[in-house]
Structure 1
């Protein structure tokens, strides 16, 4: 018998910037944000480069978080929204870590 299906703990969304191959990930319960992107290595073989949570991107108060890309085609960051409180912050890669601004309404 198959195990019961559970809601996925993560949500994924691409950065809106049209020439950036970055995908953001949010833990839907904790709000922790990370990101990964493709990078070419010397010799033509690529790697997945991932950026861990840095300042402001770590776990937040337990709630229900989602990622919301803007429609700005040159924006490398993404919004993290708390759907229970309406608070939002912008998250982006800075110095090899994902950082997020303080949450605000």
Structure 2
């Protein structure tokens, strides 16, 4: 019985890692914009969603898929970093392993990002 219990303990850490949140969310810094950015922490792919009023009814959630430069990057650890600029609608994408940054924003109904740079 001791062996079965001990073997089960090795499975728990792996199972916990599988349940780790693959996405991170952060609001756009612009104070009059209700946009939230989403990043896949492993691939760096960025998307965004915002609330939009609908005439005569309940509002809708409008989402913007990844466009130019916002798609998957080299596998790493990525985070979103909002600036403190209250009129900035974009957000920084940071690769915490390499220190590279890019700026992502909504353009023509897609999220686009500048090339990663140090």
TM band (smaller chain): over 0.9
Runs of 4+ in 1 over 2 A off after TM superposition: 3-6
Which string of whole-angstrom CA distances, capped at 9 and with x for unpartnered residues, describes residues 37-78 of structure 1? 000011131000000000000000000000000000000000
- Equivalenced residues, count: 103
Q: Identify unmatched segments of 5+ residues in structure 1.
A: none
Structure-2 separation of matches of 1:70 and 1:17: 9
**Structure of larger gyration radius:** 2
Corresponding residue to 1:58 among 68, 71, 76: 71
Q: What CA RMSD, in Å, does the superposition of the two structures yield over aligned residues?
A: 1.1
Give the number of the structure whose residues are more often helix, by fraction.
Answer: 2
Q: Identify unmatched segments of 5+ residues in structure 2.
A: 1-11
Bigger RCO (CA 8 Å, 6+ sep): 1
Corresponding residue to 1:47 among 43, 60, 63: 60
TM-score (structure 2 length as normaliser): 0.85
What is the deviation of 1:7? 1.4
TM-score (structure 1 length as normaliser): 0.95
1:12 equivalent in alignment to 2:25? yes
